A and B are shown apart, each in its own frame.
Chain A
Amino acid sequence: DGGITQSPKYLFRKEGQNVTLSCEQNLNHDAMYWYRQDPGQGLRLIYYSQIVNDFQKGDIAEGYSVSREKKESFPLTVTSAQKNPTAFYLCATRDSLYEQYFGPGTRLTVT
């Protein structure tokens, strides 16, 4: 898991509530990413940020929001507009050699 922290490991929320997933890194990497993984499926890119104060939508950004105010932090907010928020969420960073490093993930369950 390197120097990437995602907390908590398990998160439970009621439908209609926004929830923010944290991702912190001490690897000094510029680029950070959020992915969603559903059972039996690959990873899908939600948002990514290549530098502080800048981020881009990935393939499935609807219902999510992010901020990148600090190099070390890239929080993801799952809003009530996200129709199927229950999933495993993975944060990652990328170094200058294009190697990606993943956090341990947060499993979000919305009921």
Chain B
Amino acid sequence: GEDVEQSLFLSVREGDSSVINCTYTDSSSTYLYWYKQEPGAGLQLLTYIFSNMDMKQDQRLTVLLNKKDKHLSLRIADTQTGDSAIYFCAETPGGKLIFGTGTRLQVFP
């Protein structure tokens, strides 16, 4: 089947904003998620957006959803070194959770 696509790498300077993009495949997904994975650890749910919303803001995180283009993005404001991790988007067709390939975010001083 089709993959949930993300760019592999993103490198930003500390204090700048990061934008991580995701193209998903299933228009019936009720929720779309963003997860964070630090090295050697499981995934941590960062935020999610319901499919009838265009935008959701949660402190430094802003999620934008374009259902027409099946495009999801995560903006991290004032990016810190502690934000360095792999970020996964996920869609939810039929009770399953299908993950993107992950974007490795590197934050440098």
Interface residues of A (CB under 8 A from B): 1, 4, 31, 33, 35, 40-45, 48, 50, 58-59, 90, 92, 94, 98-105, 107
Contacts and interface: CB of A to CB of B under 8 A. Distances in A.
Contacts of A104: 41-42
A100 B33 CA distance: 9
B92 A98 contact: yes
Contacts, number: 57
Sorting the interface of chain B by its residue count into under 10, 10 to 19, 20 to 34 or 35 or more gives 20 to 34
B42 A50 contact: no
A5 to B, nearest CB: 11
Interface in B61-109: 88, 90, 92, 95-102
A90 B35 CA distance: 14
Contact of A99 (B4, B42, B45, B101): B45
Contact of B41 (A33, A43, A105): A105
Interface of B: 1, 4, 8, 30-31, 33, 35, 40-45, 48, 88, 90, 92, 95-102
A102 B4 CA distance: 20
A31 B95 contact: yes
Given A99-B48, A102-B42, A103-B42, A50 B95 contact: yes
Given A41-B101, A44-B99, A45-B97, 5 more contacts: A45-B96, A58-B96, A92-B43, A99-B48, A104-B41
Contacts of A50: 95
Contacts of A43: 43, 88, 99
Nearest to B3: A42
A4 B44 CA distance: 12
A42 B41 contact: no
